[in-house]
Structure 1
Amino acid sequence: MQTTQTAESRPQAAQANPASASKANAPASSQWQNFSTIRRNGAVVGFEPGKIAIAMTKAFLAVNGGQGAASARVRELVEGLTSQVVNALVRNRPGGGTFHIEDIQDQVELALMRSGEHDVARAYVLYREKRSQERARSTKEQAPVEKSSINVTDNGVQRPLDLARLRTTITEAGLNLPITIDVDAILKATVKNLYDGIPVDEVYKSAILSARALVETDPAYSQVTAGLLLHTIRKEVLGEEVAQSAMDAGYAEYFPRFIKLGIESSLLDSKLGQFDLEKLGHALKASRDQQFNYLGLQTLYDRYFLHVRGRRIELPQVFFMRVAMGLALNEINREERAIEFYEILSSFDFMSSTPTLFNAGTLHSQLSSCYLTTVSDDLVGIYDAIKENALLAKYAGGLGNDWTPVRALRSHIKGTNGESQGVVPFLKVVNDTAVAVNQGGKRKGAVCAYLETWHLDIEEFLELRKNTGDERRRTHDMNTANWIPDLFMKRVMENGDWTLFSPSDTPDLHDKYGKEFEKAYIAYEAKTLTGELPLFKTIPANSLWRKMLSMLFETGHPWLTFKDPCNIRSPQQHVGVVHSSNLCTEITLNTSDTEIAVCNLGSVNMAAHLKQDSNGQYVLDHDKLQRTVSIAMRMLDNVIDINYYAVPKARNSNVRHRPVGMGVMGFQDCLHMMRVPFASQDAITFSDTSMEAVCYYAYLASSKLAAERGSYESFKGSLWDRGILPQDTLAMLREERGGYVDIDESSTMDWDALRTHIREHGMRNSNCVAIAPTATISNIIGVSPCIEPTYRNLYVKSNLSGEFTVVNDHLVRDLKERGLWDEVMVADLKYFDGSLARIDRIPADLRELYATAFEVDPSWVVECAARRQKWIDQAQSLNIFMAGVSGKKLDDTYKLAWQRGLKTTYYLRSSGATNAEKSTGRGGELNSVAVSSAGPEVSAVQAAALPEAEVVGAVCTMRPGDEGFEECEACQ
């Protein structure tokens, strides 16, 4: 079978994309205007060779499945065959002419037969015959479903499978969707997988799998699958099959029973039984169950819903009300506040963090997300810190440890007259503790160790995540981060030297920043010249910087975070020092030997806060945003008083300063709705103005809470108290650095009015805003994670709940409107790993709008983040996506982040050496993934599942079963 062609005979466009063979064999697209096609109804239309490629690709789809149609061999074959057909048609019409549609199809058949693709040719012939018969009929009659001879087992009793009931359930799952679902296809696939005597629960699992297999054809099938899953959840919880249409009454009846059962089972706080349960039950809105996509509902079912001996006892709206009640326990008007909280949770306007969702209203109400600790330089202090890690992690807390005070390798130990082994051996213990205390059996323990860049152990610290070397000095299961002083960055920029010290010799450097740090550091450097400080090491700053970037690329760690912006811009600099960030680099709170910083989180769904103006354009809905933020801030503030604290130092700190971290998610969805590409000045502007609004309303809400409840204890002397708001601190940072801060400082809202309100009423919370990764809660509500660009437009997401096909529904809507969404487009998206860049059929404006994360230059991501950081009193979890990583690109990107005043960065994500399979496969095996030659250590599922797992170069640093990026759920 001949499949190769010369460059002269191959269609020019098809060399780039077989679906674009419209430019086949040569004449430029403008030259096809002399060729026409006669349709069967007599209409004459333009000749489009690209449709020939599409038709043949569909034939390959029918025979080989998506995997075969998306393979490189088949795509090349389609290119060649398209060229043959076009050549045969135009050979005798060099100046132009007309072809009948039947003649074109005859040539396609002939080309397929000559190529030896007899099965594909037969499928094409059968398809033509089928279409002919359909045209011959004036109406298409739906074939009745055969009566089933299959029996099902229900509670130990066999009965015939009720196909009519099954059809009704599938139909109900597809109501109120933008498409008419193919009920027959789901029903047929469901029955195909059944056997006589099958348990009835397995019947509906088969239906779920059958609907799930269609998600790649249209994202609406994700909601269909969720509807079928919801049916099985209702049966498990209620003990019988109940239609969704009956659930308004069903919820009201079941809710009081749930509270009673939860209390009797020692799951729920008995205080929940003191609410007006009848009132709350009638406030539940069953229609909101239909908002879920499959990934979101499956995640809730697997990991959030309470259960008794393995049987779930929560339904979605019951779950949200339970969380709302848990947050309203101390409110005067408990029922009204609980309903208010329920409304913004169940509508997906706002979502609390994972620990809050796990534990609100339970007997162990550990609702906070993040804990930051400082480890002291003595054996008792070190092991106290490790013990505190374990206690805090037990109920789903994420940990950030400041290890800078611990003396370096070869430092003198006065008590034993020996030499210290440094920080690394203790970090190995921390790593193993995180594995052992796996957050109460719900997910992997999560901890991040921070070390300042002047610490003498910094070079070994950089290598902790390497896969080579002494395993006793490696920490594969924990995160690491550099805590970088501005002086180091200035030495890098100015090509200077850098000196490493042991903190036992330079203890005050730990608590100094800005000009004070610089003065003390230079003084210590002078002591090395006189011999007063014998333990030190001097290296070129750029050499260490390059190693930091190299390790970041090779292992994903340590992350780069900046000490001075975190402190100089901290509202709480009057009472302490920020010594580290947290597990996900968005929390910047003071820590000390006596205080463990605590932060509880939740995120506003920005996509739910857009509205259409008079011109039909999406704009920010300020009224709704202010209302949501106000309620959310009240919920977050309530956590502080309700929260369970495993260690006293955490309670004392949290009650004294009352920090919270309200974030955002769905930023990319907003850009899609507004028709704004991520890589654009408009995106930067929206990042600026939207975050300004969120922060303005958050700070105002905290000040109003202060008027109602009083200011936090350490308010006096804070930047808030001095009338200095977060955007004002940019000038302070520039002054301390002596330059090196370049950021737009414009504003659009009345900040003077807010200053006046704060001056009169104070602030309830020392810190208010932080953008967490939202890896899981964004899954629950079905929006893009926090502030990130789209990872891929079609990909497989892997987590502990399974593997899920994810399709960009915004893109699908656009492609449908332009008549471009079909099986071939699905095959193209798979072949090009969710990227539109090389699919020529897609117009340029859509390729720009739906550019994926690795197609967006990281400078755009940094610029958007810099505009947000202007307003935020804490920080943001900022992933950097980079394709074709080079040393220069890394250097430029992270220097830009520092110069733009960012406080922290998070993972570096580079495109990996693994790829998703190009289809579900002939047998319908959903979401299968192939491993490339990268090696057996790479988890292909997780490599294909960004942003859930980070792929660094060719190495995925997660482990199979880690749930990808799941340790960062502690922050959402």
Structure 2
Amino acid sequence: MSIAIEARSSSAASVSGGSAKTPATAPALQVIRRNGSVTPFDPTKITIALTKAFLAVEGNRAAASRRVHEIVEDLAAQIVSALTRQGDHGRTFHIEDIQDQVELVLMRGEHHKVARAYVLYREARAQERAAATAEVEHSEQPALNVKARDGSLRPLDHQRLSLIVREACEGLSETSAEDVLAETYRNLYDGIAAHELTLAPILAARTLIETEPAYSEVSARLLMDQLREEALSFVSSRPERASQAEMAERYPEYFRSYVARGIATELLDPELARFDLERLGHALKPERDMRFQFLGLQTLYDRYFLQTRGVRFELPQAFFMRVAMGLALREIDREAKAIEFYDLISSFDFMCSTPTLFNAGTPRAQLSSCFLTTVADDLDGIFKSIKDNALLAKYSGGLGNDWTRVRGLGAHIKGTNGESQGVVPFLKVANDTAIAVNQGGKRKGAVCAYLETWHIDIEEFLDLRKNTGDDRRRTHDMNTAHWIPDLFMQRVAEDSHWTLFSPDEVPDLHDLYGRAFAERYAEYEAKAERMELRIARRVRAVDLWRRMLTMLFETGHPWITFKDPCNLRSPQQHTGVVHSSNLCTEITLNTSNDEVAVCNLGSVNLANHVTADGLDRVRLAHTIDTAMRMLDNVIDINFYTIPEARRSNLRHRPVGLGVMGVQDALHTLKIPYASDEAVAFADTSMEAISYHAISASADLAEERGRYPSFDGSLWSRGILPIDSLALLSDARGGDLRIDTSATLDWAPLRERIRTVGMRNSNVMAIAPTATISNICGVAQSIEPVFRNLYVKSNMSGDFTVVNTHLVRDLKARGLWDEVMVSDLKYFDGSVGAIDRVPEDIKALYATAFEIDSHWLVDAASRRQKWIDQAQSLNLYISAPNGRKLDALYRLAWERGLKTTYYLRSQSATHVEKSTLKGTDGKLNAVSGSGMVSAPDAHEAHVPRACSIEDPTCEACQ
């Protein structure tokens, strides 16, 4: 069978004759042939090539079919159009770009048999070429010159190119340096710019990720070579390069110079120079630079590593040590603790949140993740809150604002004897402020507005994210969330009425919850019936609930969160009220006019604490002990931008220890996410984390003293998170559908807390970890895998993601091949529809939209009983309807969940299916150092994470 489009001596394709529907005047494009020569692009060769492809699969009957000829003409036109668009401004592309487009249009057009045969043929030819060139000596490589920045030419250093590629593949048995070199040379040409030469091997390795995930590590190691040259040259003020092997000796010297240059450029805290840099430099572990996946290292480069004027001078181990030093500033033996902290985060056993990684060890060390505020009902209070948002967001804080106190539309304003325009116009201002303060270009400012369900403006609040209507009453960039009292959910279940009020007439409802709220609410309803309130409106509770769910499905907002569980189970009931959650719905802390709640986050990588035999409790205990000390240190070291945040954080000292890599842990244990075993694992693993986190805080209290507001807390009364379920159950009249079993002996810990106290008012919260999980190379938070093969988009570009666990298991059964890759693309990253995949593999690797969401709620309910705060819980529905949404969110409330996060639904249309080559990311690390981003080989995409998954919701990870 001969169906490939190959380069020939006279053209860019293997066929002649035929025609395609091309533009009258095509741009002047050029094609790089496999021998390195460049020829004009000839668009007339493609139709015959496609016809041959159909003939090879379907036989001569295809040639006799007018329909097939029409299909071929249309496909050829698509290919030429795509290539022409790519070729704007005179772009030169490779012969395989054309082949990529052929493969793409065949897959997109669902000509699956032809596409599969085409993929297999291309792979066979590629292997033949690789075998033919595998042992070619450097002297036999084409004579190529490299153009420097000043325009001068120098011979290509074939030996060093081979060295860095082979070093990148070292220890990765499934990879081939020859394949990477062959792909690299395929894209080189005489006179190539130096920055393009640096890019070439990285891109070459990246194109192989879809068939072998280990090439993600190869790509990262090749990127490391470029980063080493950039950082070493900057700190030494002269051009320098080093291999990974050489860094074992060079890292300590580099580290001392790095600290000096960082202080000189005013990017590092001068206090770091007082550490024993010799000791710390020799504690660095250069081999850990080789553990990154490409997405993780690229993300660090783009947004985390210190840089000046676009030049990054912070290598990964220096970065981790800088963070560790920043957290050890006030320790007695600073060097010992810095090394301990460094070992923990550089091993990926635990990772600090993004603000801590950004700012630790810098002159303005704003290390906290989340800030919660409550907005007062006057202009001074409203605009102070907006100003506070700007100051808090400036240094990477994620924001949650409670707007319930602001009077509603039509309410009386005594000072002007006028009527209020309601809360919406002020939300518009808060929305625009979040966009204006974009955290130094590192990521967008992010804020979530909360409103209680009884507020008179709740219906307008529902419409804030709509794309239609008066744009002055829309907040397209702000997240929104409901703060729902239990009474509303009970009214929905009863199909009863619900009354909306303006908060200036019912001010105490804001601070009430549980039975006290229900009683007072009924009194206000009676007053409304007697016409004693200026503004009140009765609606049917079910109708409002349905509209809430409808808008959640249509716009992704407002999210569903529950006021009463957050307050009834809060350890700090004696000091105030929880009026909202945060940006990502996992923080539940008190707020008031005088206190802005602050939370300090980090996450345990559960994947590193699980073996095939189960949870490694010894390693987990060590990780949590160290992590809790790091989080507690954040509170004292932190740079506070407003006094209310400092007052609150020092008084209550809350931290939020979370978890990530749960899906990876389940894969290691061979437990399907949709199973009773997975629900049980969620229970027992979170119980262990809860036990050790609470115990570690008690240890810190014994060493450093209890937090100032401890007396009167649930902790002081011997009521732990598991015990507080009884308070919620009692408020609901015993109607709480949640498992209350335990496996550990909690009695001694209760007694110890009564004796020594707690260092932290709150200790656990599960954040989304969208970014830090990328750094560690694991699945985010508690999420099921989105797809087994897809392209992930974030602020660093587009990245191929392949489920390495699936690849490992398919290889073990002899099922991993090009056909499997093609099938995964065709079925949107799902193995469920692939016949030759065994049923146990299908169950284990079912994707998020293939799992009934009740399993997510059940597992979350088991975790929630151990957590003193909340968890960011995304819910997935493949074919949503009103009945499913109603049942799902009522179940979440019945199972005692405090909050939910995004509702993710699947588009009714299929995503594009294509080869991954050229689509998996912009090499911004290279463009950041003066290099241009590599253009994609074509415009197509494999399955992508849904549109909700974007960089704007990363603030608390």
TM-score bracket, shorter-length normalisation: 0.7 to 0.9
Give the AA of the match of 2:107: A
Aligned to 1:881, the other structure's residue is in SS state strand
Q: Is the 8 A contact 2:584 2:872 kept in 1?
A: yes
After TM superposition, give the deviation of residue 454 of structure 1 in Å: 0.4
Partner residue of 2:181 out of 187, 195, 200? 187
Matching residue of 1:332: 332
Q: What is the distance in 1 between the residues matched to 2:100 and 2:471?
A: 50
Matching residue of 2:111: 74
After TM superposition, give the deviation of residue 480 of structure 1 in Å: 0.2
Q: What is the distance in 1 between the residues matched to 2:940 and 2:398?
A: 25
Q: Is the 8 A contact 1:915 1:943 kept in 2?
A: no
Cα gap change, 1:826 to 1:618, in 2 (>3 Å): same
Matching residue of 2:954: 969
Partner residue of 1:618 out of 609, 613, 617? 613
After TM superposition, give the deviation of residue 74 of structure 1 in Å: 2.4
Q: What is the distance in 2 between the residues matched to 1:162 and 1:894?
A: 62
Matching residue of 1:444: 444
Q: What is the distance in 1 between the residues matched to 2:162 and 2:390?
A: 50
Q: Is the 8 A contact 1:148 1:161 kept in 2?
A: no
After TM superposition, give the deviation of residue 553 of structure 1 in Å: 0.1
After TM superposition, give the deviation of residue 129 of structure 1 in Å: 14
Q: What is the distance in 2 between the residues matched to 1:470 and 1:311?
A: 44
After TM superposition, give the deviation of residue 915 of structure 1 in Å: 5.1
Q: Is the 8 A contact 1:456 1:502 kept in 2?
A: yes
Q: What is the distance in 1 between the residues matched to 2:277 and 2:801?
A: 38
Q: What is the distance in 2 between the residues matched to 1:810 and 1:256?
A: 39
Give the AA of the match of 1:311: V
Aligned to 1:580, the other structure's residue is in SS state coil
Q: What is the distance in 2 between the residues matched to 1:255 and 1:437?
A: 33
The farther-off stretch of 149-158 and 569-578 is 149-158
Point out where structure 1 has 5 or more consecutive residues left out of the alignment.
1-20, 22-60, 80-111, 113-118, 612-616, 929-939, 951-963
Q: Is the 8 A contact 2:912 2:942 kept in 1?
A: no
Give the AA of the match of 1:727: I
Cα gap change, 1:943 to 1:575, in 2 (>3 Å): farther
Equivalent residues in 2 for 1:817-832, closer than 5 Å = 817-832=812-827
Does residue 209 (structure 1) correspond to residue 182 (structure 2)? The answer is: no
Does residue 581 (structure 1) correspond to residue 581 (structure 2)? The answer is: yes
Aligned to 1:734, the other structure's residue is in SS state helix
Matching residue of 1:380: 380
Aligned to 2:526, the other structure's residue is in SS state helix
Give the AA of the match of 2:955: A
**Aligned Cα root-mean-square deviation (Å):** 2.6
Matching residue of 1:633: 628
Matching residue of 2:358: 358
Aligned to 2:715, the other structure's residue is in SS state coil
Q: What is the distance in 2 between the residues matched to 1:492 and 1:205?
A: 59
Equivalent residues in 2 for 1:36-55, closer than 5 Å = none
Q: Is the 8 A contact 2:913 2:942 kept in 1?
A: no
Cα gap change, 1:147 to 1:863, in 2 (>3 Å): same
Cα gap change, 1:943 to 1:495, in 2 (>3 Å): farther
What CA deviation, in whole Å up to 9, does each residue of 1:543-586 have, x standing for no partner? 00000000000000000000000000000000000000000000
Give the AA of the match of 1:880: L
Point out where structure 2 has 5 or more consecutive residues left out of the alignment.
1-56, 58-97, 234-239, 923-938
TM-score using structure 2 length: 0.85
Aligned-pair identity in percent equals 62
The farther-off stretch of 870-879 and 746-755 is 746-755
Aligned to 2:271, the other structure's residue is in SS state helix
Q: What is the distance in 1 between the residues matched to 2:269 and 2:322?
A: 10
Equivalent residues in 2 for 1:943-954, closer than 5 Å = 944-946=943-945, 949-950=947-948
Q: Is the 8 A contact 2:793 2:950 kept in 1?
A: no
Give the AA of the match of 1:970: A
Q: What is the distance in 1 between the residues matched to 2:889 and 2:601?
A: 27
What CA deviation, in whole Å up to 9, does each residue of 1:243-302 have, x standing for no partner? 101112111111011111111111111110000000000000011111100000000011
Give the AA of the match of 1:623: V
Matching residue of 1:847: 842
Q: What is the distance in 2 between the residues matched to 1:642 and 1:511?
A: 32
Matching residue of 1:565: 565
Cα gap change, 1:705 to 1:686, in 2 (>3 Å): same
Q: What is the distance in 1 between the residues matched to 2:101 and 2:136?
A: 27
Aligned to 1:70, the other structure's residue is in SS state helix
Partner residue of 1:904 out of 899, 905, 923? 899
After TM superposition, give the deviation of residue 800 of structure 1 in Å: 1.4
Matching residue of 1:105: none
Give the AA of the match of 1:855: E
Aligned to 2:482, the other structure's residue is in SS state strand
After TM superposition, give the deviation of residue 941 of structure 1 in Å: 9.4
Give the AA of the match of 2:860: A
Q: What is the distance in 2 between the residues matched to 1:583 and 1:915?
A: 31
Does residue 267 (structure 1) correspond to residue 258 (structure 2)? The answer is: no
Q: What is the distance in 2 between the residues matched to 1:384 and 1:277?
A: 43
Q: What is the distance in 1 between the residues matched to 2:266 and 2:514?
A: 52
Q: What is the distance in 1 between the residues matched to 2:127 and 2:484?
A: 70
Q: Is the 8 A contact 1:914 1:943 kept in 2?
A: no
Aligned to 1:305, the other structure's residue is in SS state coil
Q: What is the distance in 2 between the residues matched to 1:142 and 1:324?
A: 45
Matching residue of 1:220: 214
Give the AA of the match of 1:873: D
Q: What is the distance in 1 between the residues matched to 2:100 and 2:241?
A: 39
Q: Is the 8 A contact 2:714 2:720 kept in 1?
A: yes
Q: What is the distance in 1 between the residues matched to 2:407 and 2:356?
A: 37
After TM superposition, give the deviation of residue 523 of structure 1 in Å: 0.4
Q: What is the distance in 1 between the residues matched to 2:942 and 2:212?
A: 24
Cα gap change, 1:155 to 1:413, in 2 (>3 Å): closer
Does residue 790 (structure 1) correspond to residue 759 (structure 2)? The answer is: no
Matching residue of 2:60: none
Matching residue of 1:245: 245
Q: What is the distance in 2 between the residues matched to 1:208 and 1:712?
A: 50
Does residue 230 (structure 1) correspond to residue 224 (structure 2)? The answer is: yes
After TM superposition, give the deviation of residue 795 of structure 1 in Å: 0.2
Q: What is the distance in 2 between the residues matched to 1:124 and 1:237?
A: 40
Matching residue of 2:323: 323
Equivalent residues in 2 for 1:952-963, closer than 5 Å = none
Aligned to 1:726, the other structure's residue is in SS state coil
Matching residue of 1:455: 455
Matching residue of 1:147: 141
After TM superposition, give the deviation of residue 924 of structure 1 in Å: 4.8
Cα gap change, 1:278 to 1:505, in 2 (>3 Å): same
Matching residue of 1:469: 469
Q: What is the distance in 1 between the residues matched to 2:99 and 2:384?
A: 64
Cα gap change, 1:569 to 1:882, in 2 (>3 Å): same
Q: Is the 8 A contact 1:201 1:232 kept in 2?
A: no
Q: What is the distance in 1 between the residues matched to 2:357 and 2:100?
A: 47
Give the AA of the match of 1:349: D
Aligned to 1:411, the other structure's residue is in SS state strand
Matching residue of 1:346: 346
Matching residue of 1:655: 650
Q: What is the distance in 2 between the residues matched to 1:367 and 1:128?
A: 49
Cα gap change, 1:127 to 1:569, in 2 (>3 Å): closer
Cα gap change, 1:416 to 1:733, in 2 (>3 Å): same
Aligned to 2:819, the other structure's residue is in SS state helix
Q: Is the 8 A contact 1:562 1:903 kept in 2?
A: yes
Cα gap change, 1:693 to 1:731, in 2 (>3 Å): same
Q: Is the 8 A contact 1:406 1:422 kept in 2?
A: yes
Aligned to 2:749, the other structure's residue is in SS state helix
Aligned to 2:573, the other structure's residue is in SS state coil
Q: What is the distance in 1 between the residues matched to 2:616 and 2:725?
A: 28
Q: Is the 8 A contact 1:148 1:160 kept in 2?
A: no
Give the AA of the match of 1:817: A
Does residue 919 (structure 1) correspond to residue 918 (structure 2)? The answer is: no
Number of residues paired by the alignment? 840
Cα gap change, 1:834 to 1:525, in 2 (>3 Å): same
Cα gap change, 1:424 to 1:558, in 2 (>3 Å): same
Cα gap change, 1:342 to 1:77, in 2 (>3 Å): closer
Aligned to 2:111, the other structure's residue is in SS state helix
After TM superposition, give the deviation of residue 869 of structure 1 in Å: 0.1
Q: Is the 8 A contact 2:912 2:941 kept in 1?
A: no
Give the AA of the match of 1:765: N
